[in-house]
Amino acid sequence: MAGALAAAPPRAHLPGLLLGVVGTALAVLGLGDAALLPLLAVAMLLGAMFVVLDYGFTGGFRRLLVDRDGRTLGASFIVPAVAALAILPIGTLVEGFGRFVAPIGPPLVVGAALFGIGMQIASGCGSGTLVAMGQGSRRMWVALPFFCLGGVLGSLVLPAALRLPNLGAVDLPAVFGTWGGLAVTEGLLLAGALLVLRGARPQRDKVLAGLAVGVVVVLLFLVSGMPWGITMGLTLWGGQAVQALGLDLTRFEFWAGGWTREALEGPLLALHGSLTNIGLVLGALLAAAAQGRLRHGTPIGWRGAAGAAIGGLLMGVGARLSFGCNVGAFLGGASSGSLHGFVWVLAAMPGCWVGIRLRPLFGLR
């Protein structure tokens, strides 16, 4: 009991902790640009909400494939349904805002399957890794650097993979018009949820949580100009680390020019996804501390560490090949009206099935 109590900071000192963490973060991050502060604030809010609402994506796949219970995963379709109401029309019609649209082909399918394996043996996806890190999870502190490294490895093969035969991008607003594309998008999300639920009624708390998260995802889009993405920020962290070790990534096609080279050679926070990742960790840290739910005292063991490392590496490679994770590919793609977001979920399922059966090797049930 004493050890459990010692793991959580005294609530009486919580205001000081909040101010200290935020102040230190701002100083370390060098946020001299006041325009970045709303982005950091919304990302921190999102990280806190994931902890308070106990929200995540990985467990929903597992409950569907193991217990045949689709209520959790079915409720997660609410998030892109809410986000699409703003992201699709604003990203299509308003200058200065963008959407995530990507081609459907072998990289997407293979990458999503690899990501599915990785998130099950690491026991966390992109957002789950960062949120659990903020909560103090030792497993995710192991998974993160390998996730970043995997993103770099995936970036090296992505240009060649994109030259394989593919169906191209299927942009629903381009096919059906802005409002027709929105209607088709919402219809596909509803059909996906009903298919997963198979007649069951989703849990009320998960539905409400999905609605709340969807609203904050819209807010993040409004302050950043793009849908929420995680994995490119992690790939950039890995890329800058590799550069610092002396390997010139600009010799490789992915990093040779354009915005990726600018991000690689520029400040770490030049990419909004990098800043939102940091905000997600900080928000989760503050929420976990406030609730006495820090997890840094939970042991991991060598099998858990191995699963985290291998899972992180697979998630990094898979995310780069498939243009993101549950957040960037599914949530960002579907809410943008891009068909690749829906294909990503279907392709991730077999990977999750394999990953679930590998979990006992790494000490997971």
pLDDT tens digit string along 214-253? 999 999 999 999 999 999 999 999 999 999 999 999 999 9
Strand, helix or coil for residue 238: helix
| Rounded Cα distance, 229 and 100, in Å | 9
What total of structural domains would you count in the chain?
1
pLDDT tens digit string along 105-118? 999 999 999 999 99
Query: Quick one: 99 exposed, middle or buried, by C-beta within 10 A (0-12, 13-18, 19+)?
Result: buried
Residue 22 placed within a domain? no
Residue 154 placed within a domain? yes
| Rounded Cα distance, 49 and 287, in Å | 8
Torsion of CA 87, 93, 97, 103, to 10 degrees: 70
| Rounded Cα distance, 307 and 321, in Å | 21
Q: What's the pLDDT band for 271 if we cut at 50, 70, 90?
A: confident
Query: What domain range includes position 83?
Result: 33-362
Residue 93 placed within a domain? yes
Q: What's the pLDDT band for 33 if we cut at 50, 70, 90?
A: low
Residue 96 placed within a domain? yes
The more confidently predicted of residues 242 and 201 is 242
Q: Which two tokens stand for residue 116?
A: 């599915």
Q: What pLDDT sits at residue 3?
A: 31
Residue 276 placed within a domain? yes
One-letter amino acid at 351 equals G
Residue 12 placed within a domain? no
CA angle 227, 179, 87 (to 5 degrees): 10
Residue 57 placed within a domain? yes
| Rounded Cα distance, 222 and 31, in Å | 19
Residue 11 placed within a domain? no
| Rounded Cα distance, 78 and 102, in Å | 22
Residue 123 backbone class (left: φ over 0; alpha: ψ -120 to 50; beta: rest): left
| Rounded Cα distance, 148 and 153, in Å | 9
